[in-house]
Amino acid sequence: MVLISQGSSVRRIEHKMHAFECLRFCVTRFKYLIPMAALLAAAYLYYTLLNGRSYFSQSNENTFNLALRDFKDVSDKVNLWGMSPSDFPMYMPVNEATVKGFYGRFPNKDSSKEIKEAIVHTLKSGIGIQPHVDEAGWEGWVENGVVFRPHVKPNVTEKFPSPHASEYDPYIPFNETVFFDGTQKVEGKKIILWYIKTRYAPPMASLEPMRFCPEFPCLMTSNRKFADQSSAMVFAGEIIEGIPPPRRPEQVFIFSNHEPATNRWWEMSQIKSDNLGWKGVFNWTMTYRFDSDVTSLYGIVRRRLKRATPDYAAILSRKRKLAAWIVSNCVTDGRRDLYVKELQKYINVDVYGGCGEMKCPRHDDAACFEMTSTNYKFYLSFENAICTDYVTEKFFRYLNADVVVVARGDNSYHRHVPPELFLNTADFPSPKALAERLMYLDKHDDEYLNILKEKDKYISIFEDYPIRDSEGRIKYMHYHYEAVAFCEVCQRLWNLDKYRRSIPDIREWFKLEMCRKPTDIEF
């Protein structure tokens, strides 16, 4: 399902021509493909041109019904390669739904120029993003059923508050019309159990509402005493041990992992063993990969309805250093350490953390972030492994800072952000060439500030997960965009017939070949 904009049930023939003209243009532009972005753009224009107002100008069930019906009407009449509302799951950002659609329909063409352009178009145009003002008067926006509201600062009386760095929080109101695919009705609440939870997931001894969709008919827990009552069990793949627990026929087992299948991962995980029974127990996947059943990213980037306008002259005047890198995992499969050493032959790169001489306390995350944002022009966001779809939290976090991010990874960043917002090592033939570009921008303030200004048209959104010691002190912070993914899990559980499946061999799906050796550095 997708909800982009409100439509009406009565249409005039001449108005419909707007949508068909848009689609005809898309056919000409992309020739052999009709990218999902073009479909979304056509649907958005269709609703807007016909109706003259946005979908969220009314918030009743009839609005949802009309939007769904009109979207299906467009799809059926122009025969868009069989695409239908079911190709656009609820609660997904439009660019994520676009990428997932391409995975399913054009699995061997995802890197084509046409598809890259289509995905970037969804990000730049802000398709599907509509302004929203809640009852308290807070201004935010809404996209595909998710409301984004200003983040509420933690209670100042808390002993050790969390240094939250995301300006907005997602919130998903419950609406039966869009939540259910059929005629189901809420009867009680389904339990989602973190049977083997990640180190950053907070312990939940009781049954708790879901973080950003508390009205949904699901409850979360990490207490295994609820195993028999749970509708789904979630397993963090990297730390799986022992044998699988007993299960009921209708119980869903979910493989979750926020790290890629590197050599180190396979050394740690017990999934590789044929004797423990994990091979074929899973029904769904929930990882950073776009071909997961439920994609759980480290963050999302959306176009702002109003661009931020900071004092750029003041920002520039405070910067006295060139590049910073904060890192604790020194030797990795991606060999980022070697790339930085080569880069340091030409420019100054200050290395903080366990792998460098500069110190920034890990527990004081807010201070480290502020120091980097204030003093440096560039921040190196280098992934520890070069793996399909793997983009971690530092990339998303530092997009919100007053620095230009330099990224090195799988080169799938176009799925998350337009290319004008950051520098990509893949665009440079060598570390020396990258260093020359950084030195050039350091000496040309206007061009450097143009990147910051372009970046300020967008916002990066993520959730904070403070890792605390026994007294409640924050040891370090973890950032993810995971709570909304669990909202999607809840919706799937209540529409189980649509999502039934069994994964024959999780090892084959999460295989080592999804990662590769770097080719931009000799070692």
Where are the chain's structural domains?
Answer: 13-132, 189-298+481-515, 300-461
More confident position, 60 or 491: 491
SS3 state at 350:
strand
Assigned token pair, 62:
């009839």
Residue 458 φ then ψ, to 5°: -125, 170
Enclosing H/E stretch for 133 = strand 129-133
What is the overall mean pLDDT for the chain?
80
Residue 304 has pLDDT above 70, yes or no: yes
More confident position, 353 or 227: 227
Predicted local distance difference test score (pLDDT) of residue 31: 45
Assigned token pair, 150:
């200003």
Alpha-carbon distance of 474 to 365, in angstroms, equals 9
Residue 27 has pLDDT above 80, yes or no: no
Residue 80 has pLDDT above 80, yes or no: no
Residue 425 φ then ψ, to 5°: -60, -25
**Residues found in the chain:** 523
Residue 266 has pLDDT above 80, yes or no: no
Q: Within 10 A of 66 (CB to CB), how many other CB atoms are there?
A: 19
pLDDT band at 339 (very low <50, low <70, confident <90, very high): very high
Amino acid letter, residue 382: F
Enclosing H/E stretch for 38 = helix 36-51
Residue 415 has pLDDT above 60, yes or no: yes
- Are 233 and 202 spatial neighbours (Cβ–Cβ below 8 Å)? no
What is the mean pLDDT of the segment spanning 197-214? 91
Q: Within 10 A of 207 (CB to CB), how many other CB atoms are there?
A: 17
Q: pLDDT digits over 37-74, tens only?
A: 444 444 443 333 333 333 333 333 433 343 333 334 43
Q: Within 10 A of 153 (CB to CB), how many other CB atoms are there?
A: 9
Assigned token pair, 523:
């070692």
Phi-psi map region of 144: left, alpha, beta (phi>0 left; psi -120 to 50 alpha): left
- Are 401 and 379 spatial neighbours (Cβ–Cβ below 8 Å)? yes
SS3 state at 258:
coil
**Which of 332, 296, 333 has the alpha carbon at shortest distance from 478?**
296
Reported in sequence order, the residue ranges of 307-389 that DSSP labels E, i.e. its strands, are 321-326, 349-352, 376-382, 386-387
Predicted local distance difference test score (pLDDT) of residue 472: 78
Predicted local distance difference test score (pLDDT) of residue 297: 94
Residue 232 φ then ψ, to 5°: -145, 145
Q: Within 10 A of 182 (CB to CB), how many other CB atoms are there?
A: 8
pLDDT band at 182 (very low <50, low <70, confident <90, very high): low
DSSP 118: H
284-287 vs 232-236, strand pairing mode: unpaired
SS3 state at 453:
helix
Determine the topology of domain 300-461 in CATH: Rossmann fold (3.40.50)
- Are 231 and 253 spatial neighbours (Cβ–Cβ below 8 Å)? no
Q: Which residue has 């009386």 as its token pair?
A: 157
Predicted local distance difference test score (pLDDT) of residue 117: 80
Q: pLDDT digits over 275-298, tens only?
A: 678 989 999 999 999 889 999 999
Q: pLDDT digits over 475-485, tens only?
A: 778 889 999 99
DSSP assignment of 456-499 equals TTEEEE-EEEEEE-TTS-EEEEEEEB-HHHHHHHHHHHHTHHHH
Assigned token pair, 223:
């207490």
**Which of 430, 432, 395, 431 has the alpha carbon at shortest distance from 410?**
395
Q: Which residue has 């699995």 as its token pair?
A: 107
Predicted local distance difference test score (pLDDT) of residue 241: 85
